[in-house]
Amino acid sequence: MAPDIGWPLIFEIFTRFFMLSLLATGGALALAPTMHSYLVIEKGLLNDTQFISSIALAQSAPGPNVMFVTVLGWQAAGFWGALATTIGALIPSALLAIGAGRKVLANSYSIWMKALREGLAPVAIGLTFATAIVLIKPWVGEWRVWALMLFSTAVAYFTRLAPLYSIIVGAIAGGFGFLQSVPAT
33 and 103 in a single domain? The answer is yes
Question: Is residue 182 very low, low, confident or very high in pLDDT (cuts 50, 70, 90)?
Answer: low
Per residue in 39-52, pLDDT (tens digit) is 999 999 999 989 99
Residue of 78 and 176 predicted with greater confidence = 78
**The pLDDT of residue 3:** 59
37 and 76 in a single domain? The answer is yes
Instruction: Rank 75-84, 98-107, 147-156, 168-177 by mean pLDDT and report only the highest.
Output: 75-84
Provide the domain count of the chain: 2
Per residue in 64-88, pLDDT (tens digit) is 888 999 999 999 999 999 999 999 9
**The pLDDT of residue 1:** 38
pTM equals 0.68
| DSSP-derived secondary structure for the chain | -PPP--HHHHHHHHHHHHHHHTT-TT-GGGGHHHHHIIIIIIS-SS-HHHHHHHHHHHHHSSS-TTHHHHHHHHHHHHHHHHHHHHHHHHHHHHHHHHHHHHHHHHTTTSHHHHHHHHHHHHHHHHHHHHHHHHHHGGGTT-HHHHHHHHHHHHHHHH----HHHHHHHHHHHHHTTTTTT----
146 and 180 in a single domain? The answer is yes
